[in-house]
Every structure is written in C-alpha cells, then in structure tokens.
Chains A and B, each alone.
Chain A
Amino acid sequence: MKHKKTFLIFRIFFNLVLIGIFFVVLYNLIQKDLTLDGKLHTSSNLNKKNPFISVIFPEHRTVNHGNYYEINDEPVYFTVRSPIKFDNAELEIEFDPGNQEAIYIGYADNKEGWSYRVHTLYNITFDNIKWDKLSDEKNTLWQKNKDFNSIDEFYDQLHQLPGIAAHDFNIGEHFFIRDYKKSDKQIEITNCLRGEHKFYTYIKDEPLDFTFTVYDINRTEGSDHVFIKIFDNTEKIIYSKMLEDNDIKTDGANENPNYISIFIPNLKEGTYRIEFLSNDDNIIRNIKTSQSKISMIDRVYLCDNPEYAYKFFNLELKPTELYAVGNTISFYTAHKNGLQDVSINGKKLRISEQHKWYNFNNGSQMAKIYVPKNDIKISTRGIIALSKELYFNPEITNLKNYSESQDIKYFIAQYKIPEKTIDNWQKNKIYFDLEDAKIENGNLKFIISSPDLKFGNETIKIKNISIKLTSNEKITKKQAYKRLINPIYENFIKNYTELKNKILSIWHIK
C-alpha cells in the first residue's frame, strides 16, 4: 500500500514536470511572437536554419556552398517572419556582386499580382561617379561643383535648383524642358520597327498628334492584336485603343496597313508615355507626329532589312544611327540577315551568332550606335532615340540608372555606397517603409534581383542577411495577448456558427 502511494506521488510529480515543460515551451513561443517592445532583430549566415529568416529560394537558381549562397539566375527570394505588423525594416546584406552592374532588394507589397517595392543594394555606376559626394543615413548626393557642404543644405534648396537628377528619391516634381519650343512641321519616322515599343514624348501648348502605320506580317500563329495606351506623368491613362486581329493564320504579310491616328488636344505641359503593345508580328512602318521630342524606352527592334523586304513596305534598307543612355546595351538577332558588326561610340561589337545576346558595357556616357544591317533588337535600361534632335530623357527625375548629361548638376539617390569587408566582400544597408508590405502566412517576402544575371553565366554571392524590424506602435502585454487571442476567438465563433447552421439545415430545424 505504501509502495502504491509512493508511486502515485511520483507519477503525479512526473506528469506535472512533463506538463510544466510543455507550458514553458508554449509560453516562450507565444512571448517571442508577441514582440512586446515592437522590435525584432535577427540575422542569418544562411548555413543553418534560422527561425526568422528563410533560406534563399528557388533552389534551381541558387547553389548552397555552406557559408554562402551563389545565385546564377534571378530573381530569388527569402522570407522574414513577421509576428506583428512592423512599420520599418533595416536590412543589411553581405554580398559579392561579381561582374553585375546592379543588385536590387525589395519586399512584396499589397498591390495586385506580382508586385515588389525595390531599392538599390549595389550599383557600380553610382559607385564610380567622380563628383563630390555627401550622404546621410539613407541617401547620397553627388554634386558636379561643390555647392553644398552638407546634404541638409541641399534639401533646403531642393525645389529651387535646376539640373537635379534623382534615383529612387522623390524630388516632388515632374520633368520639364526649359525653353521648349514646339515643332512647326510634322516629323516622319520611316524606320521600320518590329513588335512592342514604348515611347516618351513631350507636350507644351500643342495637341498630342501621332499616326502609326502598322502592318501585320503573320509569321506566327495566333491573333496579332495591337493595344495602344497613353499615360500622363501621373501614370493616369488618357487614351486606350485596341486593334483586333481576327486573322490567326501564318500565310504571310497582310499588304493592307492599319492606320492608328491619335489626336488629343488641351493637354498639360509635360511628358507622356505611349505604349504600343503587340507581339512581333506587327510592324510599325511609319510614324507621323507633330511632336518634336520622341524617345524610346528600354528597347528597340529595327527591321529595315531584306528579312522583311515585302514589296509594299518600300524599305530603304539603309543603316540606322541611334543615341542611347544605359549602362549596358545588349544586342540580339534571330536571323542570319542580322549578323553584322555594330559600332558603339566607334567601338566595334561583332554579332556573329543568332539567338544570342551580346552585351556592351557603355558606362554612364551617351552612346552613338551605328547599325549597318538592322534586323536587331537593342535593349538597355534607359532611353534610345533615333536622332539627337528627338532625344530627351524625362527619367532624370526618376532615373533607373545614372547617365552623364550636361543638364545634370546634382544627382541624388536613395543609396549608400557599400562598404568593403575584410575578405573583399561588400556590405550595405537598405531601409524600407513597410506601410504597404504584404504579410503572407506570417511572413514578409523579399526579392533579390540582378537583371543581368539572365544574360550570361555570371553569379552573385550572398553571405549574411541581418534585419531589424521596428513597430512605431507601443502596446502593453494585455493588449498584445488580446491581439493574439481575439482572432482565435473570432475564428472559433465564426466556425462554430457555420457548423451549427449546417447541422440545423441538414436536420431542417428552424
């Protein structure tokens, strides 16, 4: 009897210890989740599982070397646990950019679809700007002449200064061309352009007046619809039109052109973006416009080439000269007729293989490109124009990348030049405002993007990720527990009510 009593006491004690251990674990998990001080600071060297920072994925774009990740394609992602809604993030990454021009980091935001708010982690062009520079915690100012001794002095005079270019920094105004004069006569662009193209044009005291002559060459199966959209400088759509194509055959070019005429009067002064959205079966054979400034955005596909020598095209088959700004300019041809030597600022680049991208490192200068045979796609992150007279760059108030221009006297960017570490890696910090950050399954999702990774066999390396999340809201323990329990309680009530109604409806009880 005595033994039984002793064993019972021991058994109760044993069970209490086990239950006690469980509740201690539970309490700690909940405490970590509450984040009562509104701060979360964690870092990961990526070689072992971290409860807050995931590994870099997807797997097929990365190689795990144990103490660092090698990334050979982009984009890649990682997640950070967000137990509460944080307002700000300070992200520090240790990396090796290899030969990449730029690396961007961003977070998934609440906009529909695949949408990320990105900032620049690394940009070799910015790092190589020779001007005097000033910086604060988040931003760097490069000034052609040393007009300011501190970045705060610059901020004070920001809105009165001419010649400011900005990258990822809101200078609060739109682009204007000083002393702009509208053209007295119509301009005709007779270069043959294939497929999708996007243009900037500038308007002041004139209507927006464009006529596109478009042919459908029907080389690929399926419909060849054309969409034209025009945006003002606040991204508002002011014009939209669709040209339907019901001919899905691939039996050769349609010799009857489509004329798309656009005339919009009474527009405010400023830059307008025209998007000609189409597949490569549609050719812009001619553009007539009253505007005197037209630049193409990021890409042009020249087709003045025997590859497209339809009689009714009346191609001139002459070389094309273009002007472009963009750090890397890439060339691609799909046909034998497009194999040629192109010249960029007098330097030759041989395009000797079809279906291959050839990259030219242009740096920050303006490039004069000579294309003798056309039938080539030219791609850059910047602006391309068919003549110096037509060229203008409205992106200087929101530059994707820096390019020299005599108009620019100051360049401000939300960017800090990375610091070099002992083992020749680089380290940089980025600040995020998480107001519209999307939290999915309790996690923030971040993207790492280096667009040029798609074009070659280069890689970038990531070693350490450290993040500080802060919330501006200070709450008490009671409020924190309430915040944790309320959704559970509400969920329970909702499910209970649904279940009760289901059961009642099955048994037809009112």
Chain B
Amino acid sequence: MAHKIKILILDFTFISIFSYVILYILEFIKPGIVSNYVDLNKLFTYLLIVIVFSAIISQIKKVT
C-alpha cells in the first residue's frame, strides 16, 4: 500500500514539474498570460516542496 502511494506521489510530482515547465514557457512567449493570475514564484516554491517531499518519501523504505 505504501509503495502504491509512493508511486502516485511520484506521478503527481512529474506531472507538476511538466505543468510548471509548460506554464513557464507560455509565460515566456506571452508575458502576463499566466503571471496575471498565478504567482509563478510562489508556484515554484510549492513545486520545490513537492519535489523535496517526494524525494524524502521515495527514500523512506531504504532508510528503514
């Protein structure tokens, strides 16, 4: 069960990274299209938290 949750968290992390990259590229091409609604810097912070959390989770079985 824990293993399955880990997989879902990893999937969520990869999709989040992919989404952020697409939004960033879109913002680069048309400034304001994303940033007027979403604070990309805050979003990046949340993404980092998700990545760190996901990295910790994936290492837990190895540690224990």
Contacts and interface: CB of A to CB of B under 8 A. Distances in A.
Interface in B15-48: 15, 18-19, 22-23, 26, 29-34, 36-37
Q: Is the interface of A mostly helix, strand, loop or mixed?
A: helix
Contacts, number: 47
Contacts of A81: 32, 36
Contact of A18 (B15, B26, B30, B36): B15
B53 interface: no
B12 to A, nearest CB: 7
Interface of A: 7, 11, 14-15, 18-19, 22, 26, 29-30, 32-33, 51-52, 81, 83, 441-443, 484, 487-488, 491
B7 interface: yes
Q: Is the interface of B mostly helix, strand, loop or mixed?
A: helix
A22 B22 CA distance: 10
B56 interface: no
Contact of B31 (A7, A30, A52, A442): A442
Contact of B8 (A11, A30, A488): A11
Given A441-B31, A442-B31, A51 B37 contact: yes
Given A29-B37, A32-B33, A51-B37, 15 more contacts: A11-B11, A14-B11, A15-B11, A18-B15, A22-B15, A26-B23, A26-B26, A29-B34, A51-B36, A83-B30, A83-B33, A441-B31, A442-B31, A442-B32, A442-B33
Given A11-B8, A14-B8, A491-B29, A52 B36 contact: yes
B9 to A, nearest CB: 11
Contacts of A484: 30
Contacts of A30: 33
Nearest to B36: A51
Nearest to B18: A22
A33 B7 contact: no
Contact of A26 (B22, B29, B30, B31): B22
A502 to B, nearest CB: 20
Question: Which A-B residue pairs are the 5 nearest by beta carbons?
Answer: A51-B36, A442-B32, A441-B31, A22-B19, A18-B15
Contact of A11 (B7, B23, B33): B7
Nearest to A492: B29
Contacts of B30: 33, 83, 442, 484
A57 B23 CA distance: 27
B4 interface: yes
Contacts of A26: 22-23, 26
Contacts of A29: 26, 33-34, 37
Nearest to A30: B33
Contacts of B15: 15, 18-19, 22
Contacts of B26: 26, 29
A14 B37 CA distance: 26
A71 B26 CA distance: 35
Contacts of A488: 29
B33 to A, nearest CB: 5
Contacts of B11: 11, 14-15, 18
